[in-house]
Amino acid sequence: MVTIAAIIYEPGSTTKNKTGSWRTFRPIMDNKKCIKCENCYIFCPEGTIYEDENGDFKINYDYCKGCLICVNECPVNALTSIREEK
Amino acid sequence: MVTIAAIIYEPGSTTKNKTGSWRTFRPIMDNKKCIKCENCYIFCPEGTIYEDENGDFKINYDYCKGCLICVNECPVNALTSIREEK
Amino acid sequence: MEKTDIVTGTIAAAMAAKLSNVEVIAAYPITPQTHCVETLAKYVANGELDAEFVKVESEHSAMATCIGASATGVRTFTATASQGLALMHEMLYIASGMRLPIVMLNTNRALSAPINIWCDQQDSITERDTGWIQIYAEDNQETLDSVIQAFKIAEDEDVLLPVMVNIDGFILTHTVEPVVIPDEEKVREYLGVYEPKHAYLDPDKPITQGPVGVPECYMETRKDLNDAIEGSKEVIKRVNEEYYKLFNRKYGNGLVEGYNLENADTVLVSMGSVCGTIKYVINKLKEKGKNIGLLRIRTYRPFPKEDVVEMLKDANNVAVLDKNISLGFNMGALGIDVSSVLKNKKVCNYIVGLGGRDITPQNIEEIINHVEGAKDGETKWINLRE
Amino acid sequence: MEKTDIVTGTIAAAMAAKLSNVEVIAAYPITPQTHCVETLAKYVANGELDAEFVKVESEHSAMATCIGASATGVRTFTATASQGLALMHEMLYIASGMRLPIVMLNTNRALSAPINIWCDQQDSITERDTGWIQIYAEDNQETLDSVIQAFKIAEDEDVLLPVMVNIDGFILTHTVEPVVIPDEEKVREYLGVYEPKHAYLDPDKPITQGPVGVPECYMETRKDLNDAIEGSKEVIKRVNEEYYKLFNRKYGNGLVEGYNLENADTVLVSMGSVCGTIKYVINKLKEKGKNIGLLRIRTYRPFPKEDVVEMLKDANNVAVLDKNISLGFNMGALGIDVSSVLKNKKVCNYIVGLGGRDITPQNIEEIINHVEGAKDGETKWINLRE
Amino acid sequence: MIEVRFHGRGGQGAVTAAQILATAAFYDGKYSQGFPFFGVERRGAPVMAFTRIDDKKIILRSQIYNPDYVIVQDASLLGTVNVVEGLKKDGTVVINTTEENMNLGFKTYKIDATGIALDILGVPIVNTTMLGAFIGATNIVSIDSVKKALLNRFSGKLGEKNAKAAEVAYNTIKDEK
Amino acid sequence: MIEVRFHGRGGQGAVTAAQILATAAFYDGKYSQGFPFFGVERRGAPVMAFTRIDDKKIILRSQIYNPDYVIVQDASLLGTVNVVEGLKKDGTVVINTTEENMNLGFKTYKIDATGIALDILGVPIVNTTMLGAFIGATNIVSIDSVKKALLNRFSGKLGEKNAKAAEVAYNTIKDEK
Amino acid sequence: MMNKKQFPREEYFAPGHRGCAGCGASIVARMALKAIGRDTIVVNSTGCLEVFTTPYPETAWKVPWIHTAFECAGAVAGGIERAIKALKKRGKYKGRKLVVMPISGDGGTADIGFQSLSGALERGHDMVYIMYDNEAYMNTGVQRSSSTPLFASATTAPAGKISKGENNPKKDMAMIAAAHGIPYVATACISYPEDFMRKVKKASDIEGPAFIQVLQPCTVGWGYSTENTIKIGRLAVETGLFPLYEIENGDFKITYKPAKRKPLKEYIKMQKRYRHLTDEDIEILQKNIDEKCKLLGLE
Amino acid sequence: MMNKKQFPREEYFAPGHRGCAGCGASIVARMALKAIGRDTIVVNSTGCLEVFTTPYPETAWKVPWIHTAFECAGAVAGGIERAIKALKKRGKYKGRKLVVMPISGDGGTADIGFQSLSGALERGHDMVYIMYDNEAYMNTGVQRSSSTPLFASATTAPAGKISKGENNPKKDMAMIAAAHGIPYVATACISYPEDFMRKVKKASDIEGPAFIQVLQPCTVGWGYSTENTIKIGRLAVETGLFPLYEIENGDFKITYKPAKRKPLKEYIKMQKRYRHLTDEDIEILQKNIDEKCKLLGLE
Ligand SMILES: Cc1ncc(C[n+]2csc(CCOP(=O)(O)OP(=O)(O)O)c2C)c(N)n1
Ligand SMILES: Cc1ncc(C[n+]2csc(CCOP(=O)(O)OP(=O)(O)O)c2C)c(N)n1
Ligand code: SF4
Ligand code: SF4
Ligand code: SF4
Ligand code: SF4
Ligand code: SF4
Ligand code: SF4
Ligand SMILES: [Mg+2]
Ligand SMILES: [Mg+2]
């Protein structure tokens, strides 16, 4: 059953689609090094870096596609990358 | 019988249509007064003022619609107008 | 207060849009539609109608603007013709696919090339697959009534489809004749306010309209649409009855109108203003003792198959008059459609009135005479010059 | 030199355009057509084809550019699909009305809304009234051959009409398969140089193209057009034969192709790539002793009425498969057309493969089984999901 | 059913006249249609318009080929247009002219409408004047209804002036009759 | 008729692989089709492609539901895609993995195509490598034709490298068999 | 003023067309063709000019002419230009420069045909695009276009109880064309034939796209009597309302500077489309002009 | 750089969408929505962003969103804006400002949707139009648009034996929009989020049409590896190739001035679309930039 005119009534429902499986490389965050410049947060095309209750940035690997922009844009190398295990 | 795609193969054939009958007023040219400024010639929307073999401007009444632009634009009042006879 | 006025078809349509309290109008001028939107612009300029009038830069944008407005949940109207309708083509599919109850007046006019501003119905006929409901009015009164009904039909929750009201260019658009103008309050009460449950762009309840219809869902959305327009037949009939009760006018059963069908061996089938001339001829011939029938198709889409079959069951000579031609089929579209449902019957097709060619009572008589001696499937062009 | 290559349908079409020595190409990218114009752009960028490639900003302008170029007297090609074709709608009527032999590849794709990039034939079917000749190819070889033939047909002095070669999106456009590429010299010799006698913008012989078609002439120009496209049937057949003599390939009689029709009580009618699958099923069933026929419509416009009637004269169950739906008629366009000419025969209609829905051999068998027990006029949607 | 054909020039209001006549008939309690014959012409070019009047609803939609009446707003049209084409044998022509000797082969009323229009309206637009003259000649609708239609169509002073022009022409013809 | 299904990710060249395989079959004197299953996916997302090979002209146009062979270019797909769906009972899978213990319930060939690709091509694009492995495992077309198809498809050095990668994978599997 | 034969005598635009008496659009066409000469190919959008010059079976045009639709003069012209290139490859038109001249109204240029124009400019087609600007959709009965000036009444932007007519300022097409970075842009007015014709000629000599916006008063749409067409155009320029300039490869130059700008009121008062305006309204418009003229260095 | 929470934490653009890894278009959408907030209505043209965010039955959008066709974001947005006005007459959305945000690619903006945009600007609709500029038609496979820069290779303007790729300069959309005389025009780049988001916010506060052209590198179309999206955007700005400015009511202001412009070569060398260029070719492009920067007062 499709909705009328294929209207989607559930906002943000792409979250059903775990794009984490796309990764070839995995970014790793070292919160100790992080200076909270917010670069990784704002530049992530997936919006999959979030601030947890402690004010630390975390990566939600369910969606991270492993583009490594965050790694590239971290001014203090708090982010690094490794090859994803398959 | 129409031509293919209603193409018109005879350039300038609107001359078949004598728009002189549209006139309510008739411009009259006094070549003696005329200083050949070419105003009437160039401004006539019908292109119905022409230069004869003597270099005089003449009005072809077959097409003159009587707009009186020529009369209005003649700097020396060599053109005047009268009500058209019907 | 209801009153009678003597107005053109375009102005009757503008009055109907005003009575229907449209909220957004987006339209682009084109002959022979212009007086409709000019009249609406005047209403707005004089404060007589509190609508947003969007002076778009093309018909493509007119339909796009209507789509945007309708998808936000307001009552929307536009008007066009010919090249304008053709320029909307892509957007017509989108309006119906998005299930937006936009109402449009189309003033039937021939299509270029060569350019021709006069009447035929090629423009709307060629949009017959788009999922728009198409009503063809016979006169100015029906024009006004149909625009009002169009909103009622379009916005019906079982329909939710755009509706195109078609009237013959010049023949109706530029002809004044008496038209009863219903009471404004009464119309507004009848229609109510448009408050859609399915499509509205509202930050308080964010929805996504017009997404990618992947192969897993696309065909089902088309089936939905197909069922909605099929189902609209019942709604159109119902609205025709309701309207009759409230405003005292009805048009056949809403889908088709039969005229003198009883015992008519020869029946003409057509749409729009030419049906008046046909009735005129039928009346004349009746005086002479000849019985001819007319089946007027009022809604061409949804196509009233069942009614066509039923109402023509006793006819032996069916003459379909088309103000359009499906090039490469050597027939008009109505002729094809009618032939396809009248399987065991002689159906002939007459191409009439293209690009403003007048259709005279003599032409109608010629058709009647011809069909009686013709073979099934014949197509004849009427009133051609050598 | 003739050679065989393994290419997609879009590339086969691009190769054909190159073989045909097109002089002006104006096109806008759209899936699933893009590889065709990309390939042509590459030919030009590498100096392999000395054509003008106009990178227009929309399909509307693509067709307008082709019209301008063709009216100046050069060979012109474009390619599009779906929304792009829809956006050209107004200009399609103008191209045919101006009698310009433009050739276009249309890669069949569904129409929005919702947006869908996959195959059905709604886009071209809905342009069936426009006066364009429409060829539907079954495979990539036929795509290449049809584009070449299209120029020959379009430019024939008895035709002078634009031609649209349709191929199924993805199913052909994105599938590689072996294709014989004819010798370039031979093709160019066959086609010759396009030097129109009727339409050319030349200061040395000034003509006026696209004037105001007043009511005194408009209907006659439409009749002319109607006769030209009707008459093109003979030309298409002739070209099919000529081509066979030169290049050793032919497609039925050019208009239709019959497959296993003899003694087939049940016949399927369809267009495009699905005919391959149908033949596949026919072959399978034949092995099982069941005799089913196929009538493949190759040129949908001009519609080969006479052939349809003649070739189906012995069939009792006719199943028309439509990859489109005429909304509000509850039938596909081919179904309507075929029904309208097969008056005393059971014709059922099957809506298949909309928006990329796959059509499997099982679906074909389901149709065959259904039609044998069905009533005339039934419509059934195949492979719908719940 | 009465059928009337108007001949004029673009910009002279022939179409308006046909509509006003239809409106006046409607005010008289009749059914009517008023409509133009459209061409691509601009101001100054010959145009036509039509009116039908009947006691019952008018359903006929073709153009008018055999009018009962012809109104010629501009005598110069005679040079290019056959204004009496198809006119019924016992038909009537009303023409704007100062010419005395004019034989169109039909019953003809002449009036210097341009004179009256220039007098009353100040411009040579003769459609309403000719309408008055036509009513004077034929009485197919009441002059009061024509005036009412004019007052509704043109606002304020303009309406009054046009009504006046129609009335003057009406009386002129009536007197001559 | 042989039917092959490729599973990969957008950007990994599954479609190209299907086409190359079809081309190789064609060079072997067979008929073939190579085509994608298209979705709206971008780089990284799961994609499929198909090849049909036969001794006679292929007219069937539906997608492939019951392949004889499945090629899995990226083992991580196993998490989201049922790569063996519809695979014929006696079908074969060729998969790019370093995992030793993997049971897909079908005859399966494993290869570290990523390793080979990184080695020879310098990028983890495994489509051509997997093609070589597939031929090694199945022999449904000749490796020479595959190499020829690759050299025609990719110009210069790139063609050579890809042909090399295919060959290495081909031999690897052959040796293992 | 008295140098003999300042204007060419060849006529490429025939009389007998159906334009209104006093129509400025005919003047545009006639002058433009005189300026370029016989090797012109005209592409005409739908509009007054197209309609009144080509009622089948007659044409006023003595040069090759084509009309397709309202909205695509730019693209059609582009196709012709490329076709000429292709024909030259075949050996045709050796050594001749054929000038492609799209000519469209303000509606066909600034509104419905704007994209087609913009695309053609961007692609660099060699053409002389003429926008004949009568500031409304005249052919269909004086509806507003985006070139209709502020406060002018038009049938779709009528003056009324709560409306002063058009409520948006005139779209500045010449400047928008200039922002496309094309080699030549100019404004012109039929009341200044030398200026206009010189610009057309120059545009036709320049390689690449040229755009000329020429103001053309319309007796019907603006509401004035026929003899004043030229006079009103002159007032538009003399008041500074419509400055005459050209922009050649980015260099802006005023080509006619009124000795002293006339008050706008003189212009306004001659036209019915403005008759609803109060003195205060006119003051607003006057201020707008004064500001714009300051920017352009006009007084 | 270290002020806490410089960027809002609300997300209106969900993950799980199908954009390529490293896609700059997602970054545009995410930032723009953060800047305006929840009362935004998005109108999306056909293009990458639309396609990868809304595969039925899923959507990445948490604000109301509509897509109709490729070429009409401007007009659809205009209809929405007027509908909101109409709804406000009914009493809805009292005291709230709803922001209509059309968002289109460079193709949807500068080419096929250009007229729809221009019409909307001319009519003065209150909207924030965002052109996400990845300099080609990415969704359909990297065909050239009029926003494709000179000498870049694209699939319909490929580098080849007799071609250096695209042969027309990049269409200057921001300047063309500015020539429409609208209240706000700006350029931006995703690599400068503060600048971009400030501009979006400002545009949403301003009454009337605002136009923002935001450069957005595309990993597939430009040919670079995914992690460099931001880096390349930064280089575009630092080289002066893509200057960041705003034009408010006609006043032009550079909003970011690189300390010293970097050589274009750095930028070019990172991208496959330029790999066919010789040093001389790059020199030509460098000269073009130098000239343009001089005009704009950069360096
Ligand atoms: C697609 C389309 N829409 C509308 C029209 C109707 N139409 C024809 S000409 C015209 C106005 C032309 O205005 P402009 O370009 O300013 O030229 P003008 O008539 O003023 O000379 C219009 C609206 C049309 N022909 N085609
Ligand atoms: C009328 C029409 N023509 C063509 C297309 C095909 N098409 C869809 S998106 C697209 C390119 C979009 O380019 P752009 O606007 O730059 O956005 P991007 O994909 O780069 O994000 C094209 C050509 C279409 N959908 N509709
Ligand atoms: S690698 Fe890319 S997708 Fe993953 S968290 Fe970093 S920026 Fe986001
Ligand atoms: S970019 Fe690095 S320093 Fe900045 S917030 Fe992210 S992890 Fe911390
Ligand atoms: S009156 Fe008008 S038409 Fe007649 S000659 Fe003078 S300018 Fe020409
Ligand atoms: S305008 Fe007067 S002076 Fe000038 S050429 Fe004409 S008649 Fe002579
Ligand atoms: S309406 Fe205006 S532009 Fe059109 S023909 Fe008449 S005067 Fe000329
Ligand atoms: S092609 Fe470019 S713009 Fe499109 S999704 Fe991929 S990275 Fe983003
Ligand atoms: Mg205009
Ligand atoms: Mg883009």
**Domains of chain E by start residue, with CATH:** 2-176 (3.40.920.10)
Which of B31, B34, B54, B72 maximizes ligand 6 atoms within 8 Å of its Cβ, making it the mutation to test the pocket? B34
CA atoms within 13 A on the CB side of B62: 13
Residue G162 has pLDDT above 90, yes or no: yes
Contact D337, D309 (CB under 8 A): no
Q: Six-digit token pair at D121? A: 């034939």
The pLDDT assigned to H5 comes to 81
Residues 6+ away with beta carbon under 8 Å from C259: C275, C278, C279, C282, C293, C294, C295, C296
Contacts of E39 in chain D (CB under 8 A): 214
Q: Residue H220: which of H133, H141, H104, H132 has the closest Cα?
A: H141
The shortest C-alpha distance from D340 to chain C (Å) reads: 4
Domain boundaries, chain G: 8-296
The pLDDT assigned to H2 comes to 43
Residue F41 has pLDDT above 90, yes or no: no
Q: In whole angstroms, what is the distance from residue F24 CA to residue A9 CA? A: 48
**Residue D386 covered by a domain:** no
Same domain, D150 and D63: yes
Contacts of H59 in chain C (CB under 8 A): 208, 211
Q: In whole angstroms, what is the distance from residue D361 CA to residue F65 CA? A: 11
Q: In whole angstroms, what is the distance from residue C314 CA to residue C344 CA? A: 11
Q: In whole angstroms, what is the distance from residue C304 CA to residue E59 CA? A: 24
The pLDDT assigned to E40 comes to 66
Element (H, E) at D106: strand D103-108
User: Cα(first)–Cα(last) distance of chain G, in Å?
Assistant: 26
Which three-class secondary structure state does DSSP give residue E95?
strand
Ranges under pLDDT 70 in chain H = 1-4
Contact H185, H174 (CB under 8 A): yes
Q: Residue E33: which of E10, E3, E6 has the closest Cα?
A: E3
Q: In whole angstroms, what is the distance from residue D385 CA to residue D220 CA? A: 49
Query: Quick one: average pLDDT of G120-126?
Result: 98
Q: Which residues line ligand 7 (CB under 6 A)?
A: E 42; G 19-20, 23, 25, 48, 52, 134, 138, 218-221
Please give the C-alpha separations between residue G284 and each of C206, G152, G232, H180, in angstroms, as whole numbers.
Answer: 43, 13, 20, 20
For ligand 5, atom 4, the nearest C-alpha belongs to B64
Q: Which residues line ligand 1 (CB under 6 A)?
A: C 28-30, 59, 83-84, 87; G 25, 45-49, 70-71, 104-108, 134, 137-140, 145
Residue A86 has pLDDT above 80, yes or no: no
Q: Tokens 């054509």 — which residue?
A: D51
Interface test with D, best of G11, G59, G82, G118 (most D CBs within 10 A): G82
Q: Six-digit token pair at H139? A: 């969704």
Q: In whole angstroms, what is the distance from residue G135 CA to residue G276 CA? A: 18
C60 touches chain H (CB under 8 A): yes
Q: Residue C230: which of D379, E129, G188 has the closest Cα?
A: D379
**H near E: at least 3 beta-carbon pairs less than 8 Å apart:** no
Q: Tokens 């209507």 — which residue?
A: C66
Domain covering G8-296: architecture: 3-Layer(aba) Sandwich (3.40)
Ligand nearest to the CA of G113: 1
Flag if H172 and G179 touch (Cβ within 8 Å): yes
Task: Name the residue among F80, F97, F124 with its Cβ closest to that of A21.
Answer: F80
Ligand nearest to the CA of E44: 7
Which of H45, H131, H138, H232 maximizes ligand 8 atoms within 8 Å of its Cβ, making it the mutation to test the pocket? H138
Chain C: partners with 3+ C-beta pairs within 8 Å: A, B, D, E, F, G, H
Contact B49, B59 (CB under 8 A): yes
Question: For the whole model, what pTM was predicted?
Answer: 0.98
Q: In whole angstroms, what is the distance from residue F40 CA to residue E176 CA? A: 85
Which residue, of C194, C227, C247, is where some domain finishes? C247
The pLDDT assigned to H1 comes to 41
Q: Residue D129: which of G56, C110, C80, C271 has the closest Cα?
A: C110
Confidence of residue E124 (pLDDT cuts 50, 70, 90): confident
φ and ψ of G101, to 5 deg: -125, 90
**One-letter amino acid identity for G164?**
K
Confidence of residue D297 (pLDDT cuts 50, 70, 90): very high
The total number of structural domains in chain D stands at 2
**Residue C225 covered by a domain:** yes
The pLDDT assigned to C60 comes to 98
Distance H219 CA to ligand 8 centre (A): 7
Same domain, C8 and C38: yes
B4 touches chain C (CB under 8 A): no
Identify the CATH number of the domain in which residue C370 sits: 3.40.50.920
Start-end of H helices in C21-108: 34-45, 59-71, 82-97
Same domain, D265 and D134: no
For ligand 2, atom 13, the nearest C-alpha belongs to H137
Contacts of G51 in chain E (CB under 8 A): 40
Element (H, E) at D164: strand D163-168
The pLDDT assigned to H263 comes to 98
Q: In whole angstroms, what is the distance from residue A75 CA to residue A70 CA? A: 10
Same domain, C99 and C14: yes
Q: What is the DSSP string of C260-273?
A: S-TT-SEEEEE-TT
The pLDDT assigned to F12 comes to 86
The number of beta carbons lying within 10 Å of the beta carbon of residue C242 is 15
Task: Name the residue among B1, B5, B6 with its Cβ closest to that of C386.
Answer: B1
B26 CA closest ligand 5 atom index = 1
For ligand 8, atom 6, the nearest C-alpha belongs to H20
The pLDDT assigned to F124 comes to 85
Residues G48, G52, G53, G58: what is their CA dihedral angle, to the nearest 10 degrees?
Answer: 150
Query: Quick one: average pLDDT of G57-70?
Result: 98
Q: Give CA H249 to chain center in angstroms.
A: 20
Q: In whole angstroms, what is the distance from residue C151 CA to residue C148 CA? A: 6
**B near A: at least 3 beta-carbon pairs less than 8 Å apart:** no
The shortest C-alpha distance from C342 to chain A (Å) reads: 33
State percent of chain E over pLDDT 90: 77
**Residue C298 covered by a domain:** yes
Same domain, D239 and D275: no
Which residue, of D194, D216, D247, is where some domain finishes? D247
Flag if A65 and F74 touch (Cβ within 8 Å): no
Which of B38, B59, B67 maximizes ligand 6 atoms within 8 Å of its Cβ, making it the mutation to test the pocket? B38
Q: Residue C201: which of C191, C210, C214, C192 has the closest Cα?
A: C210
Contacts of H21 in chain F (CB under 8 A): 43-44
Residue G2 has pLDDT above 60, yes or no: no
**Residue C329 covered by a domain:** yes
Identify the CATH number of the domain in which residue C62 sits: 3.40.50.970
Contact C114, H127 (CB under 8 A): no
Residue A40, ligand 4, Cβ within 6 A: yes
Which of C83, C91, C117, C123 maximizes ligand 1 atoms within 8 Å of its Cβ, making it the mutation to test the pocket? C83
Same domain, C309 and C285: yes
Distance G178 CA to ligand 1 centre (A): 24
**D near F: at least 3 beta-carbon pairs less than 8 Å apart:** yes
**HEC states along C103-122?**
EEEEEECCCCCCECCCCCCH
φ and ψ of H256, to 5 deg: -150, 125
Query: Quick one: average pLDDT of F48-66?
Result: 97
The pLDDT assigned to F40 comes to 67
Domains and CATH numbers, chain B: 13-83 (3.30.70.20)
Flag if F43 and H220 touch (Cβ within 8 Å): yes
Residue F38 has pLDDT above 90, yes or no: no
Q: In whole angstroms, what is the distance from residue F26 CA to residue F149 CA? A: 9
Q: In whole angstroms, what is the distance from residue D22 CA to residue D10 CA? A: 16
Which three-class secondary structure state does DSSP give residue H98?
coil
**Residue D334 covered by a domain:** yes
Instruction: Report the mean per-residue pLDDT for chain A.
Output: 95
pLDDT, tens digit (0-9, with 9 covering 90-100), for F113-127 = 999 999 999 988 899
Interface of A with C in 9-28 (CB under 8 A): 9, 11
Same domain, C208 and C114: yes
Ranges under pLDDT 50 in chain C = none
Q: Which residue segment(s) compose the domain that C303 sits in?
A: 256-381
The pLDDT assigned to G1 comes to 41
The number of beta carbons lying within 10 Å of the beta carbon of residue F164 is 19
Task: Name the residue among C50, C60, C69 with its Cβ closest to that of H89.
Answer: C50
The pLDDT assigned to B86 comes to 59
CB pairs under 8 A between D and F: 62
Contact C14, C37 (CB under 8 A): yes
The pLDDT assigned to E100 comes to 83
**Residue C386 covered by a domain:** no
Question: What Rg do the C-alpha atoms of chain D give, in angstroms?
Answer: 20
F89 touches chain H (CB under 8 A): no
Same domain, C333 and C286: yes
The pLDDT assigned to E12 comes to 86
Query: Quick one: average pLDDT of G163-172?
Result: 98
